[in-house]
């Protein structure tokens, strides 16, 4: 039997657990992006006129569609990302549903015009307001590790704020991308308002070339730099989420059983392919031996396997090159004095992309494991003298996305959290703030700039306009022409009245200051 011909302009959907190609999806030709963005802009012009209450109602319809489709969505996430199904339900489906729920209930309040009180006497006759207006077309270039949660947590606030979206989902997860566009279509959103384009870097570049009004990018530092440069050439504002090297600090008074379970889950969930995963763990010396032993014991109990198997705890990495990178990072660390306590090897007997969950101790900043984002199932531990040393090491990184502090003393944990250079710090938990709809997500330095999620993320999707109405519409303003010596004296008297000191100074200069308001302009 002749083999079925595969169209050239398609993307393969590959199951990372088996390496099997499970489907093909149409690749978007880069030359089509200008037209797609243009059509999105036309759709947005009409959508921006829709009352925000009605937009919120559409989000509720979207949420209902996602809930009804959750089995199909979870299947696609497991098939294309490899993660265990329970992680697909918690980390992808829940986050997407809760994002729609949160903004459907709160967007109208969050985007309501705000009064701006004026403290200065010179502006007391004015009424100021802040208006939040849609930007236009938002370009989103998303990631494969959470193929529903990441793009949907950005698309949803963009559209409820009145924008259109053109989203390039990852070429590793084309089925998830196709399902996202289908969700908005079935939920009744206008045609062309939310478009998903499929392909690699060339499609992302074409999207920027088509000049959307803002670009949101999630991915590596290397690609993020290219995105920032391409946007800068066109003066397109951007939000960049470029990953992290998140620190976990375990203090001597922490509950070691709970903290060790958190370290194991925080390092290996989604096979460590998480921007918020625990990548640098600092534990105080007095409890290090006991804590590390617990981490090793719990890691050895984890079950490696395909995500479709409900007994699997840790699934595969996304592609073979990621497996090779884990071996390279471990080899570098061991050559510099680190010690592998368990794991540390690829497992081709499970499939082409499996790697054992690994605990490695004696890691320090000279090693790639503490310099570069790992994005894999490696729990790297450094023993420190005390909390001061832990904070110093935690802040010694170009990344600044998130961190966690583990202690029985909440006040002490919060005090340490304030000293950590990170966009978010959790005390006695890790990673889960990403699933809190109100919590902003983002970092600084090599972790990027801007925020997604919550009110901060919603405000990234709008143009803030200040509107001012003058209540003395029939009076010329004192600072207008005609200039002269009288106005100079009056202006100086006004400055002394406003800023010159106590009550006596105000009384001395009150009469002169009033001349700025009551004078003959002579025009």
* Cα–Cα distance, 367 to 421 (Å, whole number): 21
Give the number of C-alpha atoms closer than 13 A to the C-alpha of residue 31, restricted to the C-beta side: 1
Per the DSSP assignment, residues forming a β-bridge with 384 are 284
Instruction: Give the position of tokens 């010396």.
Output: 285
Per the DSSP assignment, residues forming a β-bridge with 381 are 281, 361
Catalytic residue among 87, 275, 356, 372: 275
Catalytic residue among 80, 181, 241, 372: 241
Task: Check if the beta carbon of residue 343 is closer than 8 Å to that of residue 268.
Answer: no
Length of the chain counted residue by residue: 523
* Cα–Cα distance, 356 to 502 (Å, whole number): 72
226: which DSSP letter? H
Q: Which long-range contacts (CB under 8 A, 24 or more apart) does 216-219 make?
A: 216/138, 216/139, 216/140, 216/141, 216/154, 216/241, 216/450, 216/452, 216/460, 217/140, 217/141, 217/241, 217/242, 217/448, 218/141, 218/142, 218/143, 218/150, 218/275, 219/141, 219/143, 219/243
Instruction: Give the position of tokens 């809760």.
Output: 98
CA-to-CA separations, 85 to 5, 75, 310, in angstroms, rounded = 32, 8, 7
In this structure, what token pair is assigned to residue 159?
A: 């559209």
Q: At what angle do helices 52-68 and 70-81 cross, to 10 degrees?
A: 70
Q: Taking the mean position of all CA atoms in its chain, how far away is CA 212? A: 19
Active site residue 275: yes
Give the number of C-alpha atoms closer than 13 A to the C-alpha of residue 19, restricted to the C-beta side: 11
* Cα–Cα distance, 331 to 438 (Å, whole number): 41
Intra-chain end-to-end CA distance of the chain, in Å: 94
Active site residue 241: yes
Give me the phi and psi of 164, to 5 degrees please: -100, 160
| Catalytic residue positions, numbered | 241, 275
């Amino acid at each position: 039997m002749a083999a079925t011909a595969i169209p050239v302009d398609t993307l393969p959907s590959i199951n990372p657990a088996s390496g099997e190609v499970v489907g093909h999806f149409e690749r978007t030709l880069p030359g089509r992006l200008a037209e797609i963005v243009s059509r999105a802009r036309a759709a947005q012009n009409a959508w921006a006129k829709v009352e925000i209450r009605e937009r919120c109602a559409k989000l509720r319809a979207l949420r209902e569609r996602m809930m009804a489709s959750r089995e199909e969505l979870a299947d696609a996430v497991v098939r294309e990302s490899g993660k265990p199904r329970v992680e697909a339900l918690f980390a992808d489906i829940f986050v997407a549903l809760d994002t729609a729920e949160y903004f459907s209930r709160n967007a109208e309040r969050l985007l309501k015009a705000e009064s701006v009180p004026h403290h200065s006497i010179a502006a007391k006759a004015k009424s100021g307001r802040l208006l939040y207006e849609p930007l236009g077309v938002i370009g989103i270039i998303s990631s494969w590790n959470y193929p529903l949660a990441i793009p949907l947590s950005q698309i949803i606030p963009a559209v409820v704020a009145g924008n259109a979206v053109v989203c390039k989902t990852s070429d590793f997860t084309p089925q998830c991308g196709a399902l996202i566009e289908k969700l908005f279509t079935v939920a009744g959103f206008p045609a062309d308002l939310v478009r998903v384009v499929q392909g690699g870097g060339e499609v992302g570049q074409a999207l920027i070339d088509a000049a959307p009004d803002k670009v949101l990018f999630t991915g590596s530092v290397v690609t993020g730099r290219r995105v920032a440069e391409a946007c800068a050439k066109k003066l397109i504002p951007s939000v960049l989420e470029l990953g992290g090297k998140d620190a976990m600090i375990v203090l001597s008074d922490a509950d070691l059983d709970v903290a060790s379970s958190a370290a194991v889950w925080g390092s290996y969930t989604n096979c460590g392919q998480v921007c918020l995963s625990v990548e640098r763990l600092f534990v105080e010396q007095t409890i290090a031996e006991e804590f590390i032993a617990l981490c090793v014991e719990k890691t050895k109990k984890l079950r490696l396997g395909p995500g479709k198997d409900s007994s699997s705890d840790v699934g595969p990495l996304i592609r073979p090159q990621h497996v090779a990178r884990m071996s390279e990072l471990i080899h570098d660390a061991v050559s510099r004095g680190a010690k592998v306590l368990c794991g540390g090897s690829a497992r081709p007997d499970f499939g082409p992309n499996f790697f054992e969950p690994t605990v490695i101790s004696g890691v320090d900043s000279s090693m790639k494991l503490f310099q570069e984002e790992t994005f894999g199932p490696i729990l790297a531990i450094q023993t420190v003298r005390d909390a001061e040393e832990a904070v110093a090491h935690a802040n010694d990184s170009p990344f600044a996305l998130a961190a966690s502090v583990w202690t029985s003393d909440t006040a002490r944990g919060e005090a340490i959290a304030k000293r950590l250079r990170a966009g978010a710090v959790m005390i006695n938990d890790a990673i889960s703030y990403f699933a809190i709809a109100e919590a902003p997500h983002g970092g600084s330095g090599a972790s990027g700039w801007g925020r997604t999620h919550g009110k901060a993320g919603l405000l990234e999707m709008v143009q803030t306009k200040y509107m001012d109405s003058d209540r003395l519409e029939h009076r010329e303003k004192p600072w207008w022409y005609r200039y002269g010596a009288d106005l100079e004296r009056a202006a100086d008297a006004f400055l002394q009245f406003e800023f010159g000191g106590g009550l006596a100074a105000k009384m001395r200069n009150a009469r002169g200051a009033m001349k700025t308001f009551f004078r003959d302009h002579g025009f």
